[in-house]
Structure 1
Amino acid sequence: MTAAHVLAHRDGDHVLVSDGEIVYRGTRILHAGRGWGGPVDETIDCGDALIMPGFIDLDALADIDHALLDSWATPDLAVGQQWSADYFRSRRRDVFDPPERAVIREYALSQLLRHGVTTFMPIASESHSEWAETYDDMVEVARIAERLGIRGYLGPAYRSGVNVVDGGRRSVLFDEERGRAGLRDAERFLDYAADHGGDLVHGALLPCRIETLTRELMAATAQLAVARDTVVRLHCMQGEVELALLDESYGMRPVELLETSGLLETRLLVPHGIHLGAPGGQGGQADLRRLAEAGVTIVHCPMTSIRYGAVLESYDRYRTAGVHLALGTDSFPPDLVRGIDYGTHLAKRADGSLSAGATADYIRSATIGGARALGRPDLGRLQPGASADFIVVDLADFAMGVRDDPLRTLTMNGSARDVRRTVVAGSTVMVDGVVLGADQSRLQAHAQVLFERMRAAYSERDHRRRPPAELFPPTFPDITKTTKTTTPKGYSHDQS
């Protein structure tokens, strides 16, 4: 394959090659650069395009996203989007049955491929499940991933407790046996993945948020991870509510809890890692040093973080401290091009410098940073012997505008919707916006129906049982859904 630009790999880092080429056979790259002198079976000229490594998304949306519903809520509406204590104790249920959950997963994984993600680690909301994910859920995700042709590091999400609103106050209610059962399912899936063969399905331990785990479950997770030498991903240091809950329950900062549970001795990935220290930030610098010493990877999700009003303080500070950084999307769209753009510009604001959050560093995080976190030196780079995981990005479209450096142009002027081809392990899985193994029209129609049901179900969990129209008011009044009024002749609503 030839293109105007190829992001190849030399001496441990990415390099740009103009009028470059990539040659692959089977699942492996033979050549990336210029001057291939060997035989080829087929040549595809991609023209005015960029060939680069596929994105590694380590907090990849595997769900119908809820950010459309809850990333703009007032405090009063926000508490209504949590489980009520009554719902936890007596009314919790699955909003979707297993076949419907499978449709949601297929929809989400197809979106990942459409947006140039070649390796993913899933994240899905547990809010519309009776508890969390099951072994059977994740086996179905594995089957879908194999059929679509995307590489997944998979495991059922598990937890001991649920964030609730109890008497108008945020807290966590626990069912510890459900947590232990979830860990058993997670271990069973590790066995399934190990016996599965191939390079598209891998096992990982993916517990839920730190405040929803007991210390016992955290310690058991750490022991299993060390015994099986597997990656653990745990959402923590995510928000002030989490810090307050942990301080109230244990008198500890998140990093202290990770330390005492043994999780810092594992191959630990932490989305989002924003709120270091205790409530108020005390101890934050010491926590940053400890994360670096332990080799923790922070999975930075800049687009989702800013949607909920948070900013990493800061990307360069973490990197300079020696903390490994990978990227995730965590919400829709699963667009790491937009994520990189958000991240680079938020880093400038955080550090007060136009040179902060360099595009090159963010590209590294989206590729070789994710590969390092997974222990996969054959991913995230285009060089001989690496897995043939790459994307082709169109730079010729009128909407891309004028161009300078191809990567800076892509991240500032484009998006992952400009990806025209996605290749995973040598198999072409998306061409010109069409995921080859998916019926996209059917998935889109079905996903919309399921989203409407998900939206309606919030009312039964709200501690005040408010209807969806009250929980999710439109940006402006929809006059087709309200009582029509007559405007007097000669009167204008425009009072400017």
Structure 2
Amino acid sequence: MTTTLIKAPYIVAYQDGEHRILRDGCLVVRDDQVVHVGRSYDGPADEVIEAGDRVVTPGLISTHAHITESPIDKSLQEDIARRVFWQTGLIEVLPTIVACMEPEDVRACADYSMLELIRTGCTTVLQMGAMSEYVADAAEKAGLRAYVADMFRSGAWQTTDGTSVSYTWDEEKGRQGLARAVDLVGALDGRANGRIGGFLAPAQVDTCTEDLLRTTKEASDELGVPVSLHASQSIVEFIEMNRRHGMTPIEWLDSIGFLGPRTILGHAIVVAGSSYANYPGDDLALLAATGTSVAYNAWCFGRRGLVMETYPEYLKRGVNVCLGTDTAPQSMIESLRWTAVLGKVLGRNAEESTAKDVFDSATLRAAAAIGRDDLGRISSGAKADLLFWRTDSLFMTPLRDPIRNIVYTSQSEDLADVMIDGAWVMRDRQVPAIDEAEVTARLQRSAAKVWAKWPSADWAGRTLPELCPPTYADFV
């Protein structure tokens, strides 16, 4: 066993059920765990690190990510929307991206994402998508802690006219997808000292049958793993579920027994009582009463003019709100900031949606959602997943309150070092396991291929510039 003593001017330590600032203290890491946190340590140590210019915090947890396609969203999904689909890009844009991607493009996105996540403070990610074996390999190589899930569903949405949404169904495909997802959980169990694991991810509430969701929830309970589902993420979906069942998506999920402490709902923005739905009811009460968690991705929706109404209200009502990265940029720093700022704007109250609120959502609440009281905190017995922020960098200076600085002003360049499971995965901004030039070049090539192939998958055969015009015309 290797014992490392780390001394720092600021440590965000866990005490009496909450984060607290330990000034001029120390922590001790033995192999993959923190074994001591306090003002001093007199025991033996194989290595002593004098981190006099660092703020040490627990690693951040992204509870919602699609790393095998999200990087290609960049410079494509912004500044566009179709009002006929109530601003969502789910109907026209996302399916086209996926249809244009080949396996090598999925691999390029996954490899790039590992670097992007680590460099922006994510130490644990819940990934939902395809080619999960490759993703698990990439995460193990990079040193990231990852829960990986094969997404599956009974049907798919589409538009053939640009104004309406229809669904195609293949229930057997959904059942087979669940079987593969369960097998993946077993295959990943215990891998990389338990750093790589699995969970279940039926895709969307409107693309899964009741039978598939009931069976998935049973499997989640039997396996003891989280289950994540996109729900109440668009007005299109909300209207469709009300048409089918006369209930909100969340009311319907409650009626079939899908909600619960292991369940994480992606987004849960279009809910009863919100202005988007204009539909009476109390979905938040159902979420709170069942212990269901919500993975909020503020930037992903904010760029389309949608926002949780409101993040502070969800917290007041007792909903366990976590944060995710979802789309580009896959940055937990941006997730912290946009959640805090948009919560203040929508609530018209600068004293709510605080740095404490969002930092807790990215650490303690996220750890609770996945049933891990050894993550998201710096305490004896917790995993050594640690972030080391500079105290003397441009955006962290002057430093009075480290959490406020991290949430409101820090940039990725201010994060100097990252430790996951007791191993250094980034030192002085360098991630040794990943060649930055190589992964960015591969992603650029893959994105260019997708852009060129766009008309072949677009329902109307449009080119990408027709759907998403450039910001400025070319100089001639």
Q: Is the 8 A contact 1:422 1:428 kept in 2?
A: yes
Q: Deviation digits for residues 155-175 of structure 1, max 9, x if unmatched?
A: 101122222113331232222
Report what 2:142 is aligned to. 148
Q: Is the 8 A contact 1:160 1:217 kept in 2?
A: yes
Q: Residues 308 and 419 from structure 1, CA distance in 2 versus in 1: closer, same or farther, beyond 3 angstroms?
A: same
Out of 421, 440, 445, the residue aligned to residue 444 of structure 1 is 440
Out of 99, 106, 114, the residue aligned to residue 111 of structure 2 is 106
Q: Which whole-Å CA distance do the structure 2 matches of 1:17 and 1:5 have between them?
A: 6
Q: Residues 405 and 308 from structure 1, CA distance in 2 versus in 1: closer, same or farther, beyond 3 angstroms?
A: same
Q: Deviation digits for residues 417-439 of structure 1, max 9, x if unmatched?
A: 42111111100001122212111
1:202 partnered with 2:182: no
Letter in 2 for 1:66: D
Report what 1:433 is aligned to. 429
Letter in 1 for 2:394: F
Out of 27, 45, 49, the residue aligned to residue 44 of structure 1 is 49
- Which stretches of structure 1, 4 residues or more, deviate above 3 A after TM superposition? 76-84, 91-100, 278-281
Q: Residues 373 and 443 from structure 1, CA distance in 2 versus in 1: closer, same or farther, beyond 3 angstroms?
A: same
Paired residues for 1:375-454 under 5 Å: 375-454=371-450
Report what 1:157 is aligned to. 151
Paired residues for 1:257-272 under 5 Å: 257-265=252-260, 267-272=262-267
Report what 2:78 is aligned to. 71
1:3 partnered with 2:8: yes
Q: List alignment gaps of at least 5 residues for structure 2.
A: 1-5
* Deviating more after overlay: 28-37 vs 59-68: 59-68
Q: Residues 302 and 265 from structure 1, CA distance in 2 versus in 1: closer, same or farther, beyond 3 angstroms?
A: closer
Q: Deviation digits for residues 45-68 of structure 1, max 9, x if unmatched?
A: 233221000001111341324153
SS of alignment partner, residue 366 of structure 2: helix
Q: Which whole-Å CA distance do the structure 2 matches of 1:397 and 1:59 have between them?
A: 30
Q: Which whole-Å CA distance do the structure 2 matches of 1:74 and 1:378 have between them?
A: 41
Paired residues for 1:63-462 under 5 Å: 63=68, 64-75=71-82, 95-124=100-129, 133=130, 137-168=131-162, 169-194=164-189, 196=191, 198-265=193-260, 267-277=262-272, 280-284=277-281, 286-462=282-458
* Deviating more after overlay: 59-68 vs 205-214: 59-68
Report what 1:60 is aligned to. 65
SS of alignment partner, residue 201 of structure 2: coil
Q: Deviation digits for residues 346-381 of structure 1, max 9, x if unmatched?
A: 122222211111211211111111111111111111
Letter in 2 for 1:316: P
Count residues in correspondence. 464
Q: Which whole-Å CA distance do the structure 1 matches of 2:211 and 2:161 have between them?
A: 27
SS of alignment partner, residue 292 of structure 1: helix
Q: CA deviation at 1:476?
A: 0.9
* Deviating more after overlay: 170-179 vs 296-305: 170-179
Q: Residues 205 and 451 from structure 1, CA distance in 2 versus in 1: closer, same or farther, beyond 3 angstroms?
A: same
SS of alignment partner, residue 440 of structure 2: helix
Q: Is the 8 A contact 2:108 2:446 kept in 1?
A: no
Letter in 2 for 1:334: Q
Which is greater in Rg? 1
Letter in 2 for 1:297: S
SS of alignment partner, residue 165 of structure 2: strand
Cα RMSD (Å) of the superposition? 2.4
Q: CA deviation at 1:258?
A: 0.7
Letter in 1 for 2:145: R
Q: Residues 195 and 411 from structure 1, CA distance in 2 versus in 1: closer, same or farther, beyond 3 angstroms?
A: closer
SS of alignment partner, residue 44 of structure 2: coil
Q: Deviation digits for residues 106-164 of structure 1, max 9, x if unmatched?
A: 2112221111111110145xxxxxxxx3xxx2122112111111111111011222221
Q: Which whole-Å CA distance do the structure 2 matches of 1:408 and 1:195 have between them?
A: 36
Q: Residues 445 and 365 from structure 1, CA distance in 2 versus in 1: closer, same or farther, beyond 3 angstroms?
A: same
SS of alignment partner, residue 437 of structure 2: helix
SS of alignment partner, residue 157 of structure 1: strand
* Deviating more after overlay: 53-62 vs 252-261: 252-261
Q: Which whole-Å CA distance do the structure 1 matches of 2:84 and 2:313 have between them?
A: 35
With the length of structure 2 as denominator, give the TM-score of the two structures.
0.91
Report what 1:127 is aligned to. none
* Deviating more after overlay: 223-232 vs 49-58: 223-232
